[in-house]
Amino acid sequence: MAIESGTGTKGAAGIQKHDVERLTVQAQELSKSLSSLTAEKEFKEFILSIHRDGYTRPAEWTFLTGIIGAMQAQVQVLGDLKQTLFEGDRQVTIER
C-alpha cells in the first residue's frame, strides 16, 4: 500500500497519510505506556515489603495474590496481542 506525500492523499487501500501518522503516534504511545508498567524499583520495594514479619493478614494476602494473578493474566494477553500484531505486520510486509 503506497502512501503518497501530502495530507489527504490516499494510498491503494484508501488510507490517508494523516491516518498512518496517527497510527504511528498511537504505536509510540503504546510502547511508552507498556515500558512504564515495568517500573522495576516499585516491584523490588513491594517484594521487600512482603518479606517483613506480620506483613499482612490472610484476607489481605488473598487480595494481593489475586491482584498479582490477574495482572499476570493481563500481561499474557498483552503478550499474545503483541505477537499477533507483529506477526500480522510481517505477513502484510511479505505480501507487498
pLDDT of residue 86: 94
Range of the domain at 54: 40-95
Q: What are the average pLDDT values for consecutive 10-residue runs of the chain, which has 96 residues? A: 46 76 94 87 90 87 95 96 94 82
- DSSP notation for 46-87: HHHHHTSTT---HHHHHHHHHHHHHHHHHHHHHHHHHHHHHH
pLDDT of residue 9: 56
Cα 28 from Cα 69, distance rounded (Å)? 28
Q: Answer yes or no: do 57 and 20 share one domain.
A: no
Query: Would you say residue 53 lies in a domain?
Result: yes
Cα 3 from Cα 9, distance rounded (Å)? 7
Cα 15 from Cα 1, distance rounded (Å)? 8
pLDDT of residue 10: 56
Q: Answer yes or no: do 70 and 87 share one domain.
A: yes
Q: Answer yes or no: do 32 and 44 share one domain.
A: no
Q: Answer yes or no: do 53 and 82 share one domain.
A: yes
pLDDT of residue 79: 94
Q: Answer yes or no: do 45 and 91 share one domain.
A: yes
Cβ–Cβ under 8 Å, residues 16 and 23? no
pLDDT of residue 7: 46
Q: Answer yes or no: do 82 and 46 share one domain.
A: yes
